A and B are shown apart, each in its own frame.
Chain A
């Protein structure tokens, strides 16, 4: 029989739990993700339902919806983002303290959804702020939001504290604020922020 060379599993076999600072830090963070309290459209109703007793998002430590961006870790963009609303959303994101995460909830927040052809609908919030988890659906069911939260928890749990692969908020030169668009005569200007993500170009139907 060969002996295990991993001291962690040896200790765990004896009933002693050891961990690293990084794992402990991520464990604490991922189980206390506090969302910012705002809803944009019908997806917000599903978001509200997922916090109530039937779906009970409190099981994941995320029931504390904060009315101030200073105390929030997570922005759930729940619904259609109109061009009138974009500057406010980006400003709220900018005012959140690091580390901060974004869930784009539903087809509208991802791409404009059924209102994509609308003159006043933004084609995806990831044109202006970095999105961590996208949830498809119109609207997504509360289970989908909870799955997105679990996906985000998994992402937070795997984030490195040091090294080249550490996340944005631990990099000194990575931005914490993103450009706030302004209302132009025909569209919000600029129409997207190329520093965040380039929206794929969809060819017009002939």
Chain B
């Protein structure tokens, strides 16, 4: 049986060249234009951060407090827990003792994680 479609590979190369040219071409043209006609004029104020016209308060790339992310992770623990707990509660009467034990282990692990985070001081906002 013949292949359904003889795919010409060189078309891919043509498309790839066009895609790269479409992206890089305007950048090259813009650079040529700038070098020919429009001189670059960088400056301290011009390059400073845009803060609605007020003087820039400093570098936005500085260190950020990790605390929020730890807090968010602890929230996610309870978020995921509720996703499992609601169907568990809905089907509770028809579940076996094995399912109950599995859920107990799951809850215990999550509670353990919460106790660990609590002891590490993650829940204390400062």
Interface residue stretch chosen among B35-43, B62-70, B115-123: B35-43
Q: Are A94 and B52 in contact (CB under 8 A)?
A: no
Complex CA gap A91/B3 in Å reads: 66
Q: Are B54 and A177 in contact (CB under 8 A)?
A: no
Contact A177:B46 (CB < 8 A) given known A98-B38, A169-B38: yes
Complex CA gap A89/B45 in Å reads: 12
Q: Are A176 and B38 in contact (CB under 8 A)?
A: no
Q: Are B39 and A95 in contact (CB under 8 A)?
A: no
Q: Which residues of B contact A99 (CB under 8 A)?
A: 38
Point out which of B37, B39, B41 has the most chain A C-beta atoms below 10 A from its C-beta. Answer: B41
The total of interchain contacts (Cβ-Cβ below 8 angstroms) comes to 45
Is B97 part of the binding interface, using a Cβ–Cβ cutoff of 8 Å? no
Q: Are B38 and A95 in contact (CB under 8 A)?
A: no
What is the minimal beta-carbon distance from B38 to any residue of chain A, in angstroms? 6
Q: Are B43 and A94 in contact (CB under 8 A)?
A: yes
Residue of chain B at shortest CB distance from A182 = B55
Q: Which residues of A contact B45 (CB under 8 A)?
A: 91, 94-95, 177, 180
Q: Are B41 and A161 in contact (CB under 8 A)?
A: no
Q: Which residues of A contact B37 (CB under 8 A)?
A: 161-162, 170
Q: Which residues of B contact A175 (CB under 8 A)?
A: 41
Is A17 part of the binding interface, using a Cβ–Cβ cutoff of 8 Å? no
Complex CA gap A169/B55 in Å reads: 24
Interface of B is mostly: loop
Point out which of B41, B46, B48, B53 has the most chain A C-beta atoms below 10 A from its C-beta. Answer: B53
Q: Which residues of B contact A162 (CB under 8 A)?
A: 37
Is A147 part of the binding interface, using a Cβ–Cβ cutoff of 8 Å? no
Residue of chain B at shortest CB distance from A22 = B37
Complex CA gap A68/B52 in Å reads: 8
Q: Are B39 and A88 in contact (CB under 8 A)?
A: no
Complex CA gap A91/B39 in Å reads: 21
Is B15 part of the binding interface, using a Cβ–Cβ cutoff of 8 Å? no
What is the minimal beta-carbon distance from A182 to any residue of chain B, in angstroms? 10
Is A144 part of the binding interface, using a Cβ–Cβ cutoff of 8 Å? no
Q: Which residues of B contact A169 (CB under 8 A)?
A: 38, 41
Complex CA gap A88/B53 in Å reads: 4
Is B22 part of the binding interface, using a Cβ–Cβ cutoff of 8 Å? no
Q: Are B39 and A171 in contact (CB under 8 A)?
A: yes
Q: Are B50 and A176 in contact (CB under 8 A)?
A: no
Q: Are B43 and A88 in contact (CB under 8 A)?
A: no
Is A124 part of the binding interface, using a Cβ–Cβ cutoff of 8 Å? no
Q: Are B53 and A92 in contact (CB under 8 A)?
A: yes
Inter-chain pairs besides A68-B50, A88-B54, 19 sampled, C-beta below 8 Å: A70-B50, A87-B53, A88-B53, A89-B53, A91-B53, A91-B54, A94-B43, A94-B45, A94-B46, A95-B46, A95-B48, A95-B50, A169-B38, A170-B39, A176-B43, A177-B41, A177-B43, A177-B45, A180-B45
Q: List 5 A-B contacts (CB under 8 A).
A: A91-B45, A95-B48, A170-B37, A172-B41, A176-B41
B→A interface (CB under 8 Å):
37-39, 41, 43-46, 48, 50, 52-55
